[in-house]
Structure 1
Amino acid sequence: MNSTLLLNTLLVNEGTCLEADVLIENGRISRIGSDLQHLSADRVIDAAGQHLLPGLIDDQVHFREPGLTHKATIATEARAAVAGGTTTFMEMPNTVPNALTQELLEDKYQIAADTSLANYSFYMGASNDNYDEVMRTDPQRVCGIKVFMGSSTGNMLVDAPQVLEKLFADAPCLIATHCEDEPTVRQRMEFFREKYGDDVPYDIHAIVRNEDACLKSSGFAVELATRKGTRLHILHISTGEETGLFDIGHRVNGQILLADGTPKLITAEACVHHLWFDAGDYRAWGTKIKCNPAIKAEPNKQQILQALLDDRIDVVATDHAPHTAAEKAQPYWQAPSGLPLVQHSLNVMLEFVPQGKISLERVVEKTSHAVADCFQIQERGYIREGYHADLVLVDLKQMTAVQPDTIFSKCGWSPFESTRFHSRVTHTFVSGHLAYEKGSFNEMVKGQRLTFSR
């Protein structure tokens, strides 16, 4: 038997925070109680004063393997995730080659099985000409189908109307979309190239990929999904206007429901960088915070946060997308879009708690509970007896200073450099395995493939 006993935790779960002990046995949460000190275990951790949270589930990351491993690998980014309290990730198909066949998708699963310290799932990629491959996707073993309705990093734009109609009508599982209207973006890029040439102010990104481009594409996706009855999840909402597209949902018995009790078929995600940064930050960070969809003017982040609190937006993720420092240092038109974020996403969300922007219980809901419910992940996302022990211990009285020598992503830089967060992840358990402890990793046990109850 492999067992760990956590004593004197402040357990945050399902809307409450209470003192509790937790016994982990053979990868599962065996017992939760107010006084388990009499039990024996292979290891005992006194976590007095620390908060115990369910591990974060990040439903949108780009770990770059295969084909782009000079930027990142599944192994390096999974380590960064675990160091930040993220125990589970869902990774995108715009690697090289793109994951557009079931065989290429399974290749990624095998890499993760061999190298990932965190639990994992991978999206099946859609294109204008792989409908038959998409229809072979197993909804119980694959998190979803990714549709780029606007071009981003890579070449996976799906813009053929008849293909979108068929995909939305027939998809065997959740469709996750990147929504930016491609004609709008291209027109604005041409306009600003003519206006500025190569001497472009960095904050131009917020108006090149502007609110209209996002709203037009997201609105089309919602209309199409409503008409076809599609299970749609719109990723990285970046504008306040888009939040009006979504109905209020509430979680009941592992489902996200509408007010009339029917399933909420159209859900949405906010990302930590759209809650933390705004267009005024381009002056300090330049292309380092260039991402698609763009970080926009300050009112948008306030409106996104409010939609998160109102349950119009259902989950929080990162869209972790690392590039090398040299790639990001290129001039605006050449610099790729994307930020490394997964190591500090929990720190970011916890920073909002003492500011009064969100409660600790709601952070847990939006980063763990709601993600598990949204994707119908089996036996994860909650601290419950019998569930997989995906857990993170956080000290809210210690600081995390983000410096180059503390960054675990392969790219070696972070948009949070020189930030001092008022929280520190001390221990991360992945399926019961103590994968991270106070700066050190134990990689003897790898993460597990997610399964889904669909």
Structure 2
Amino acid sequence: MSSLLIKNAQVVNEGKIEALDLFIKNGRIEKIGKQLDLQADKEINAEGLHLLPGLIDDQVHFREPGLTYKADIFTESRAAVAGGTTSFMEMPNTIPNVLTQRLLQDKYDIGQDSSLANYSFFMGAGNDNLEEVLKTNPRDVCGIKIFMGSSTGNMLVDNEQALDQIFKNAPTLIATHCEDEATVKANLAHYKELYGEEVTIDMHPLIRSEEACFLSSSKAVNLAKKNNTRLHILHISTGKETALFENNVPLEQKRITAEACIHHLWFSDADYQQKGNYIKWNPAVKTAQDRDQILAAVLDGHIDVIATDHAPHTMEEKEQTYLQAPSGGPLVQHALQALLDMVQQGKMTLAQLVQKTAHNTAICFEIEQRGYIREGYWADLVLVDLNKPYQVNKSNILSKCGWSPFEGHTFSSTIVHTIVSGNLAFSEGKIIEVGSGHRLLFNR
């Protein structure tokens, strides 16, 4: 790896913003200081730019193997680094579902060969694969994923005994998708009885309702408390659910944590009229009040991290009727810019953004030597220009699906450079093919 010197950056890290230089060598931050006089293979003048820890996205669906017509690890990791995300954790609802250690290793092999970002992959839990789940290595696998509600690719775990055994015996963190299946099915049957096949997208948050989310999240919390499980509940979509979590203990001491996603912080049910199925997610985007309560919970510590749930589908799939269109959409390329817009709007600070997208994710998952700008840590960094607008359009979307729910929007900020494990992977609008990122390791 070559050496890199970053000069005159406004460094946002651990609650402070300070003008500093960074010297990076052999993939790591070797020196942080003012007016560093060191020789490097490459120097970046970061005057006027802010330097942040690269985002760590704890929930993405990159669709490989089996669904690569929608996306793959190579294309989506390119979109990630273009958006300032330097590490990701990817979900097991690919084809085949990742329910064995062999299939999990296959994904790590793909990541090693083709991911521009640092990577980790969740082991999938099913109703009858406890033996395989228990083989998961906490040192180099981010966690166990349980679908406590069916979503794209049905990996629903609905056997009560299996759930209890997984929560009781899981060797590492459990991450859950929480929507009560019986409630969703009953709601869907109700609307189909009323409207037949003409159910429309505006009914999505009524079908995948607040009640469905709260029932399932409550169940997961109760199981975790019963078994002292390390539980992480993904994509909180209702204000009601935020009361399930604590904010009066340090994050390092929490056994139950929660995640909010970009789409639940940005959109509301009012946007279905314009965006239609392009903002169809599970759990559903709900009311403006839910959106505001989720943001408040992020800021006050009830919710610990912000992620994307990046889950691409083709435009052809999304343009089907509501009942046929799959849920999910591409977000990883524009997550940081969306959050920087929220900073500009006064909804959060830069320090809070960094805390929720890098520091806290590293704490939650006990990631080794990433998530902070510290000497000795891996150099996972993003330089942003807060005063350079950027419009999303077809020509600059890197996700394989070729669309974005932000298409046509002009963000207030631009991603200028992204550095992954010490390598400049994205610079001034261009991907730099520098080889693969690293497999994440965990201090467990």
TM-score, scaled to structure 1: 0.97
- Partner of residue 173, structure 2: 174
Contact preservation (8 Å) 1:381, 1:390: yes
Q: Once the 2 structures are TM-superposed, how far is the Cα of residue 250 of structure 1 from its aligned partner?
A: 5.6
Structure 1: 4+ residue segments shifted above 6 A: none
Q: Once the 2 structures are TM-superposed, how far is the Cα of residue 196 of structure 1 from its aligned partner?
A: 1.0
1:35 aligns with 2:25: no
C-alpha distance after superposition, 1:246-274 (max 9, x if no partner): 000565xxxx24xxxxx200000000000
Equivalent positions of 1:38-437 (< 5 A) are 38-248=37-247, 251=250, 256-257=251-252, 263-437=253-427
Q: Once the 2 structures are TM-superposed, how far is the Cα of residue 34 of structure 1 from its aligned partner?
A: 1.1
Secondary structure of the corresponding residue to residue 146 of structure 1 = strand
Deviates more, 1:193-202 or 1:407-416: 193-202
- Partner of residue 19, structure 2: 19
Contact preservation (8 Å) 2:60, 2:88: yes
C-alpha distance after superposition, 1:14-50 (max 9, x if no partner): 00001000001010001000111x2111111100010
Cα separation, 2, equivalents of 1:444 and 1:33: 27
Structure 1 residue runs without a partner (length 5+): 258-262
Q: Once the 2 structures are TM-superposed, how far is the Cα of residue 200 of structure 1 from its aligned partner?
A: 2.4
Secondary structure of the corresponding residue to residue 343 of structure 1 = coil
1:2 aligns with 2:5: no
Cα separation, 1, equivalents of 2:344 and 2:413: 11
Contact preservation (8 Å) 2:88, 2:119: yes
Cα separation, 2, equivalents of 1:234 and 1:202: 25
C-alpha distance after superposition, 1:201-251 (max 9, x if no partner): 321101110100000000010011001100000000000000000000565
Secondary structure of the corresponding residue to residue 21 of structure 2 = strand
Cα separation, 2, equivalents of 1:388 and 1:361: 20
Secondary structure of the corresponding residue to residue 383 of structure 2 = strand
Cα separation, 2, equivalents of 1:62 and 1:174: 18
Q: Once the 2 structures are TM-superposed, how far is the Cα of residue 356 of structure 1 from its aligned partner?
A: 1.1
C-alpha distance after superposition, 1:343-382 (max 9, x if no partner): 0000111111121110000000000000000000000000
Cα separation, 2, equivalents of 1:374 and 1:436: 27
Secondary structure of the corresponding residue to residue 32 of structure 1 = strand
Secondary structure of the corresponding residue to residue 353 of structure 1 = helix
Cα separation, 2, equivalents of 1:442 and 1:350: 24
Cα separation, 2, equivalents of 1:149 and 1:249: 27
C-alpha distance after superposition, 1:274-295 (max 9, x if no partner): 0000000000011110010000
For 2:94, the aligned partner's letter is: T
Q: Once the 2 structures are TM-superposed, how far is the Cα of residue 297 of structure 1 from its aligned partner?
A: 1.0
For 2:38, the aligned partner's letter is: L
Cα separation, 2, equivalents of 1:324 and 1:339: 9
Contact preservation (8 Å) 1:249, 1:264: no
Q: Once the 2 structures are TM-superposed, how far is the Cα of residue 443 of structure 1 from its aligned partner?
A: 1.6
Contact preservation (8 Å) 2:239, 2:293: yes
Contact preservation (8 Å) 2:424, 2:434: no
- Partner of residue 430, structure 2: 440
Deviates more, 1:347-356 or 1:133-142: 347-356
Contact preservation (8 Å) 1:431, 1:447: yes
Secondary structure of the corresponding residue to residue 302 of structure 2 = coil
Q: Once the 2 structures are TM-superposed, how far is the Cα of residue 108 of structure 1 from its aligned partner?
A: 0.2
Identical amino acids, percent of aligned pairs: 60
Cα separation, 2, equivalents of 1:220 and 1:155: 20
TM-score, scaled to structure 2: 0.99
- What is the alpha-carbon root mean square deviation over aligned residues? 0.8
Q: Once the 2 structures are TM-superposed, how far is the Cα of residue 445 of structure 1 from its aligned partner?
A: 2.0
Query: Judging changes above 3 Å, is the alpha-carbon distance between structure 1 residues 82 and 407 closer, same or farther for their aligned structure 2 residues?
Result: same
Cα separation, 1, equivalents of 2:187 and 2:154: 19
Contact preservation (8 Å) 2:423, 2:434: no
Cα separation, 2, equivalents of 1:215 and 1:452: 30
Structure 2 residue runs without a partner (length 5+): none
For 2:199, the aligned partner's letter is: V
